[in-house]
Amino acid sequence: MNITIQEQDGNIVAILDGSLDTSVAPEAEAALSPLHDVTGQDIILDCTNLKYISSAGLRILLRILKSAESKGGQVFIKGMNSDVSAVFTMTGFIHLFKFK
């Protein structure tokens, strides 16, 4: 799992590449922790190259969403493949996030 965080067009973009599962969850959470400090900018989770997400990965994304919303921010998800989209749909997460 590779994670890159960068600023693009006034937004903070986290690019997720690989599989976000239980085995990489601690490292992924640490890599994504700067997103909890974002204030005044939208966060975009670029899932174009995310191949799989487990419940552990969903919990990480939910924490980011709650943190952003508590500061008046928004979190968008971009570029999910059909497998990841199916997990979001089955778990109801499809209704929690906004999509680009």
Residue matched to tokens 């400090």: 37
pLDDT at 52 over 90: yes
User: Confidence class of residue 40 from pLDDT cuts 50, 70 and 90?
Assistant: confident
Count Cα atoms within 13 angstroms, Cβ side, for 1: 24
Within-domain flag for 29 = yes
Query: Residue range 10-18: average pLDDT?
Result: 97
56 close to 91: Cβ distance less than 8 angstroms: no
Q: What is the pLDDT of residue 98?
A: 96
**What percent of the chain has pLDDT above 70?**
100
Counting Cβ atoms within 10 Å, is residue 30 exposed (0-12), middle (13-18) or buried (19+)? exposed
| Enclosing domain of residue 39 | 16-99
- pTM value surpassing 0.75: yes
Within-domain flag for 59 = yes
Residue matched to tokens 């059909």: 82
Query: Residue range 44-64: average pLDDT?
Result: 97
Task: Give the CATH number for residue 21.
Answer: 3.30.750.24
Within-domain flag for 72 = yes
